[in-house]
Structure 1
Amino acid sequence: MTISVYIRPLVIEDASISYAWRNDPVIWTYTGYKPTHYISSEIETAWLREKLAKTDQLRFAICVKELNTYIGNIQLLDVTDHDAELHLFIGNKLYWGKGIGYQATVQMIRYGFLIKELEVIYLKVHPANISAITIYEKAGFEITGKHNDLITMNISKSKFVSLQNQQS
């Protein structure tokens, strides 16, 4: 059975779920973020409130359509008139390896290019995160180099539109 997802803007109430993901050492392996102390729901709520107030960040929740369940985050950070950096993670490990990251990535790329009118979306990924690299390549990203031991990748609007036209 294929699991379908949608993305929606993150809301403060999402912190009551996402704080647990921030405390999960398995997730740290892939995000590269390791908290220096326990992240409580209150800390996560304050952090999310601060992030949602930023005008150069577009933060979305990944949700399972059939259950309307919040399972991860995807965002465009450092948004300019021209480009932005993509970040993705599935916090609910029950949904790892189910094609959800790819669906959410394509939806966010579409939003970035067609709604926000960006020209380039780029990202950085840990070389050991083969699943993420596979998702990004399938979505059309190309490896452009290395930066601080991370692989850098990007996709242009023209390439994304061309790929979408080929799939139509």
Structure 2
Amino acid sequence: MTISVYIRPLVLEDAQTSYLWRNDPQVWTFTKFRATQRITPKMETAWLQDNLDKADQSRFAICVKELDTYIGNVQLLDIQNKRAELHLFIGNKLYWGKGIGYQATMLILQYAFFYKDLESLYLRVHPANIPALYIYEKAGFEITGEKDGLVSMGISKKKFVELEHMIK
């Protein structure tokens, strides 16, 4: 059974779910995020409020269509000069390995290139995060280097448009 997802803007109420993910070290295995204290719903709500107000960010919830369930985040950060950094994670571990990361990546690429009119996206991924590397390469990202122990990848709008035509 294929699970379909959609993305929607994050809202403050999402903090009631996302604070649980912030406290789960398994969710953050391949990232540099490490909570220095237990994150409470109040702390997560305050953090989310601060970040939703930033003009150089677009933050979205990844949701399962059939259940209308919030399961992760995908975001564009440091938006400037027609480029941005992509971050994605699936917080609900029941949905790991189900192809959702790829779907969410394609949705955020469409948003970035066709709605925000960005020209390129970049990301950094841990080299041991093989599923993420596979997803990003499948979506058209190319490895551009390595820095601080992370693989750097990027994709241009032109390349995405070419790939999208091949998929259809």
With the shorter chain as reference, the TM-score category is over 0.9
Q: Distance in 1 between matches of 2:3 and 2:32?
A: 27
Taking only aligned residues, the RMSD between alpha carbons, in angstroms, comes to 0.6
Q: Distance in 1 between matches of 2:144 and 2:127?
A: 13
More helix by share: 1
Give the unaligned 5+ runs of structure 1.
none
Determine the structure 1 residue equivalent to 2:71.
71
2:110 counterpart of 1:110: yes
Determine the structure 2 residue equivalent to 1:5.
5
2:146 counterpart of 1:146: yes
- Runs of 4 or more off by more than 6 Å in structure 1? none
Q: Distance in 2 between matches of 1:28 and 1:117?
A: 30
Determine the structure 1 residue equivalent to 2:165.
165
User: If the length of structure 1 is used for normalisation, what is the TM-score?
Assistant: 0.99
Identity %: 65
Q: Are 1:31 and 1:89, in contact at CA under 8 Å, matched by a contact in 2?
A: no
Helix, strand or coil at the partner of 2:110: helix
Determine the structure 1 residue equivalent to 2:80.
80
Q: CA deviation digits over 1:93-137, x for unaligned, max 9?
A: 000000000000000001000000000000001111111111100
Q: Distance in 2 between matches of 1:22 and 1:35?
A: 7
| 1:81 shift after superposition | 3.6
| 1:27 shift after superposition | 1.1
| 1:138 shift after superposition | 0.6
Helix, strand or coil at the partner of 1:2: coil
Determine the structure 2 residue equivalent to 1:35.
35
| 1:167 shift after superposition | 1.2
The residue type equivalent to 1:88 in the other structure is L
Q: Distance in 2 between matches of 1:142 and 1:61?
A: 25
Q: CA deviation digits over 1:41-76, x for unaligned, max 9?
A: 000000000000000000000000000000000000
| 1:28 shift after superposition | 1.8
Q: Distance in 2 between matches of 1:163 and 1:93?
A: 30
Give the unaligned 5+ runs of structure 2.
none
Determine the structure 2 residue equivalent to 1:62.
62
Q: Distance in 1 between matches of 2:38 and 2:109?
A: 33
Determine the structure 2 residue equivalent to 1:127.
127
Q: Distance in 2 between matches of 1:32 and 1:96?
A: 19
Q: Distance in 1 between matches of 2:163 and 2:132?
A: 19
Q: Distance in 2 between matches of 1:34 and 1:107?
A: 27
